[in-house]
Chain A
Amino acid sequence: GAGVSQSPSNKVTEKGKDVELRCDPISGHTALYWYRQSLGQGLEFLIYFQGNSAPDKSGLPSDRFSAERTGGSVSTLTIQRTQQEDSAVYLCASSHISTGVYEQYFGPGTRLTVT
C-alpha cells in the first residue's frame, strides 16, 4: 500500500515569506507527527495529532509555526515569516496507535531552504 507522502520535496524561499508543507499519512493511521532534522542534528519533535484529541504542540519552536489536520487525514505545517534557522528537512510520520503498535512510519521529507 501507499506510504506517507509529503510535498513539495524541496522548497527554497526567501527570508520573511510564509511556507506550507503538506503531509498525506498512511490511510487508516490515526496519529500524525511532524519532526524536523537540522543539519547534523537528530530528529526534533514538532507536533502530534491523535484522532480528535487536541494536538500536542509542545515541540513547536515559536508561534510562527502552526499545523492543522483536516478530516483526520491530510496535515499542513505552516511556517510564517521564515528565518534562516528554519532551514531543515521537515519529516511527517503516521502510526496506528490503537493496535498497540507504536512504530511510526515516515515520509521522505521536505527540504526547506530559507535564503
Chain B
Amino acid sequence: DQQVKQNSPSLSVQEGRISILNCDYTNSMFDYFLWYKKYPAEGPTFLISISSIKDKNEDGRFTVFLNKSAKHLSLHIVPSQPGDSAVYFCAASSPNTGTASKLTFGTGTRLQVTL
C-alpha cells in the first residue's frame, strides 16, 4: 500500500521555466511533509518542508504548496536551473502523534532541466 505517491516518474523542463512536481498521500494522520533532492551516488538532501497548519512555504526558488482536503502537495521551482536536475522525493510523517517520526517516501520524480 503506497501511502505517498508520485505519479510522474520523470519530468523535463527548459532552463528558466517553472518545474512543478506533484505528490499525493492517502494517510490523513500525516501532518508534516518534506521534499528531498537526490543526486546519483549521494544520499537525499533535505530541500523544504511544510507543516499541515500551513498551505504554503517558500524558500528562495522553491515553494511547496499543500492542499489538505485533496491530500496533495506540490513543489514549484522557479526559475529552473540545470543544477536542479536530480530525483525529487516527497516524504510525509506524523511527528505529533507520539509515534516514531519515520518518513514515508514516494517513489521519486526524475527532473531534467534542459538548456
Contact = CB atoms under 8 A, between A and B. Distances in A.
Nearest to A56: B100
Interface stretch (B11-19, B41-49, B54-62, B71-79): B41-49
Interface string A31-43: 1010100001111
Interface in B68-115: 89, 91, 93, 95, 99-108
Given A97-B95, A102-B32, A4 B43 contact: yes
19 contacts: A33-B102, A35-B105, A40-B107, A42-B6, A42-B89, A42-B107, A43-B91, A43-B103, A43-B105, A48-B100, A56-B100, A91-B44, A97-B101, A102-B93, A102-B101, A106-B36, A106-B44, A108-B41, A108-B42
Interface of B: 4, 6, 32, 34, 36, 41-46, 49, 89, 91, 93, 95, 99-108
B49 A42 contact: no
A109 B101 contact: no
B42 A103 contact: no
Interface string A14-53: 0000000000000000010101000011111100101000
A40 B110 CA distance: 11
Given A33-B103, A43-B103, 16 more contacts: A4-B43, A31-B101, A42-B4, A42-B105, A42-B106, A43-B44, A50-B101, A56-B99, A93-B43, A95-B101, A102-B93, A102-B95, A103-B49, A104-B103, A107-B43, A108-B41
Nearest to A100: B95
Contacts of A43: 44, 89, 91, 103, 105
A41 B36 CA distance: 15
A112 B39 CA distance: 18
